[in-house]
């Protein structure tokens, strides 16, 4: 089992210290200005009431919402239930007309990021989603087209075979722009494990790199599976697009060729989980 773990860590990963530094320059744009005004003391109560009236609770399966005055970014938190496979928290965007709240200069279709967090969520899980929120707001500042692309190109929104390539490009961009640093933060906060519900145990990772690699590999493999389920009979098209865009977006985490490395990591992880499960049952 040690050999499998060593292989996983050495064959696929680039160390975080090898990744290029990212710019932290914040460009003030209309989206952030509206976000700030919506969550200001004079507007936030009306914002929450508007979200309820718009049916956002029902849409996201939530049973309550509140304003959280966090630093450096305040946010709207929706109370959701724990999922069938454990705590499911997410940072999502909701669309609505903000002009009644901020005036005629506001957007008719505004994309407001909110956090869906079950009460049972850990501090590390909340920190993960808050980092997503900050990264998402910064991403929209750099690329105002992101909300529209998220609506049109998400795996659940794409409708035709001709859109598969662009959709996979978007989803993989999103994964590798958002998830590596969030998984690393979880590890730094003490959540160093990966739950394996089917085997009934937790696998404890030795390093943040290992945790990031296993979770990202599982994320990418499951994403490909979702496309295959949505578009049966187009497996070759899907695999071609997955290979192309994984190699394009995953280079800061996985050594090239990234697509093949990810499947190698996923296979190694499956064997480690199997071995650990057998050892746990026989102990």
The CA distance from 270 to 256, in Å, is 21
Helix, strand or coil, per DSSP, at residue 283: coil
**30/35 Cα distance (integer angstroms):** 9
> Nearest-CA neighbor of 73 among 32, 22, 25?
32
pLDDT digits (tens, 9 = 90+) for 109-142: 999 999 999 988 999 999 999 999 999 999 999 9
How does DSSP classify residue 254? Answer: B
The percentage of residues in the chain with a pLDDT greater than 90, rounded to a whole number, is 76
Residue 274: pLDDT band with limits 50, 70, 90: confident
Residue 174 and residue 135: Cα distance in Å, rounded?
A: 11
Is residue 279 pLDDT above 80, yes or no? no
Token output for 268: 């190694």
Predicted confidence (pLDDT) at residue 194 exceeds the cutoff of 90: yes
Omega into 257 within 30° of 0, i.e. cis? Answer: yes
* Strand ranges in the chain using DSSP code E only, listed in sequence order: 62-68, 75-80, 90-96, 110-118, 193-196, 201-204
Helix residue ranges per DSSP H, 28-163: 30-38, 44-53, 56-59, 99-102, 123-142, 146-153
At residue 5, the pLDDT reads 45
Looking at residue 283, its pLDDT comes to 62
Contact call for residues 57 and 64 (beta carbons, < 8 A): yes
| Mean pLDDT for the chain overall | 88
* pLDDT confidence tier of residue 201, bands split at 50, 70 and 90: confident
**pLDDT 10s digits, 63-109:** 999 999 998 999 999 999 866 555 589 999 999 999 999 999 899 99
Question: Which residue, 51, 113, 121, 55, is CA-closest to 83?
Answer: 121
Q: In terms of C-beta density within 10 A (0-12 exposed, 13-18 middle, 19 or more buried), how is residue 103 classed?
A: exposed
pLDDT bin (cut points 50, 70, 90) of residue 199 is: low
Q: Where are the domains of the chain?
A: 1-23+144-283, 30-122
Q: What angle do CA 264, 197, 235 make, to 5 degrees?
A: 45
226 or 279: which carries more pLDDT confidence?
226
**Distance between CA atoms of 189 and 205, rounded to whole angstroms?**
13
């Amino acid at each position: 089992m040690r050999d499998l773990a060593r292989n996983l860590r050495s064959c696929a990963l680039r160390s975080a210290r090898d990744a290029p530094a990212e710019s932290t320059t914040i460009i003030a744009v209309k989206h952030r200005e509206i976000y700030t005004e919506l969550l200001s003391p004079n507007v936030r109560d009306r914002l929450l009431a508007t979200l309820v009236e718009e049916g956002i609770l029902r849409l996201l399966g939530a049973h309550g919402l509140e304003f959280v005055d966090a630093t450096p970014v305040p946010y709207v938190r929706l109370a959701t239930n724990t999922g069938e496979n454990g705590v499911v928290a997410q940072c999502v965007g909701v669309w609505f007309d903000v002009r009644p709240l901020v005036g005629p200069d506001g957007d008719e279709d505004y994309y407001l990021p909110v956090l869906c967090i079950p009460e049972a969520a850990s501090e590390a899980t909340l920190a993960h989603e808050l980092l997503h929120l900050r990264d998402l707001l910064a991403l929209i500042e750099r690329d105002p087209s992101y909300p529209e692309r998220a609506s049109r190109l998400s795996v659940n929104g794409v409708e035709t075979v001709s859109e598969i390539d662009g959709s996979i490009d978007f989803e993989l961009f999103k994964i590798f722009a958002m998830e590596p640093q969030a998984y690393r933060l979880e590890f730094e906060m003490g959540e160093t494990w990966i739950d394996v519900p089917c085997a009934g145990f937790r696998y404890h990772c030795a390093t943040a790199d290992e945790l990031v690699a296993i979770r990202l590999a599982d994320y990418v493999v499951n994403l490909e599976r979702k496309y295959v389920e949505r578009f049966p009979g187009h497996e070759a098209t899907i695999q071609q697009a997955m290979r192309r865009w994984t190699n394009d977006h995953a280079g800061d985490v996985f050594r090239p060729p990234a697509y093949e490395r990810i499947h190698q990591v996923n296979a190694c992880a499956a064997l480690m989980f199997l071995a650990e499960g057998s050892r746990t049952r026989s102990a």
